[in-house]
Copies of this chain bind each other. A is one copy, B any other.
Amino acid sequence: MKLKDKDIVSVEDLSKGDISKILETTKKIDEGDLKADMSGKVLANVFFEPSTRTRLSFETAMKRLGGDVISLNSTQASSISKGESLADTVRVLEGYSDVIVLRHPKEGAPKMASQFVEKPVINAGDGSNEHPTQTLTDLYTIWSEKGSIDGLKIAILGDLKYGRTVHSLVQPLVEYDIQLYLVSPSQLSIRRSILEDLGKKSGEVIQKASIEEIIDKLDVLYVTRIQEERFADKEEYEKVSGSYEINKELLDQADDDLIVMHPLPRIDEISPEVDGLKQSKYFDQSKNGVKIRMALLELILGDNDGKRT
């Protein structure tokens, strides 16, 4: 299975074998065993919605590989498309670049774009649909910290209703032999349709209202932010805001080998006192975002299929 020239628009396009290959290539990059040369190659970073972390981690990844980047930010992107179709925009950009990284508020936009251009398209987030490179970052963090994903007890805590990150992550996660706890205030529990989907996979899924009763069993605690901007009603937000906080006291009850993850930014879901603990891995996770994208770019654009050079 080769990823060369492949579009990455959904995690569902990736087989378990593809994911393993991406994780292993990332490990080689992490260990300095893979030196790719993208000099003279250009990545187009096309963001129809604001983004800082995803945008900069793609940019950093390409530049660390020796390649270069051209950027359309959300303001510029809306100007280029004044009256122009997305299909035209990406066909113009295809003439400038070797790979197109696209974030778009409309679900399915990266898929559509990929049908109009021959160059590979990578989905950097489409509406509340998917964010496959964040998911790969999360999987890599778990895998590299724990040595394996199978056999783990993993809790995802927070806003399971609106979070794009969570929706993308649970799908490939339950393909592994894991025990998955979904922990949230009742107003923010995962949608029934997704839950039904998960039920058909190998992993076991258990819903909980509180993290305290399972904290001592966990290998991985994945915390998310409650995103104020997703609530139509401010009062509804106030009700759930601050309803959980990971702090030293809670982690005292957890295994020393527990890893605490968070896609960032965090507000007050994780107390700053946790930052200094061995269990905190969210800044490493953020750093892994660059490595996974280096691996992806190498597999998609490079000539050696992720092999050592």
Contact = CB atoms under 8 A, between A and B. Distances in A.
Interface in A59-91: 59-60, 63-64, 66, 68, 70, 72-73, 76, 79-80, 82-85, 87-88, 91
Interface stretch (A18-26, A173-181, A283-291): A283-291
Given A50-B79, A70-B63, A96 B42 contact: no
A66 B85 CA distance: 32
Contacts of A267: 83-84
Contacts of A39: 66
Contact of A283 (B50, B60, B72, B95): B95
A39 B38 CA distance: 12
15 contacts: A40-B66, A42-B60, A50-B76, A50-B79, A56-B72, A57-B96, A60-B96, A68-B68, A83-B265, A84-B266, A88-B265, A92-B283, A94-B283, A95-B284, A95-B290
A97 B266 contact: no
A214 B52 CA distance: 52
Contacts of A42: 60, 63-64
By size class, the interface of chain A is 35 or more
A217 interface: no
A283 B93 CA distance: 10
B52 A63 contact: no
A53 interface: yes
Contact of A264 (B56, B88, B265): B88
Report copies per complex: 3
Interface string A145-174: 000000000000000000000000000000
Name, among A82, A96, A266, A283, the residue most crowded by chain B CB atoms within 10 Å (CB to CB).
A96
Given A92-B264, A96-B287, 4 more contacts: A42-B60, A52-B76, A52-B80, A53-B80
Residue among A95, A266, A290 with max Cβ neighbours from chain B (10 Å)? A95
A178 to B, nearest CB: 26
Contact of A40 (B57, B64, B76, B283): B64
A95 B286 contact: yes
Interface string A26-43: 000000000000011010
Contacts of A80: 52-53, 265
A92 B286 contact: yes
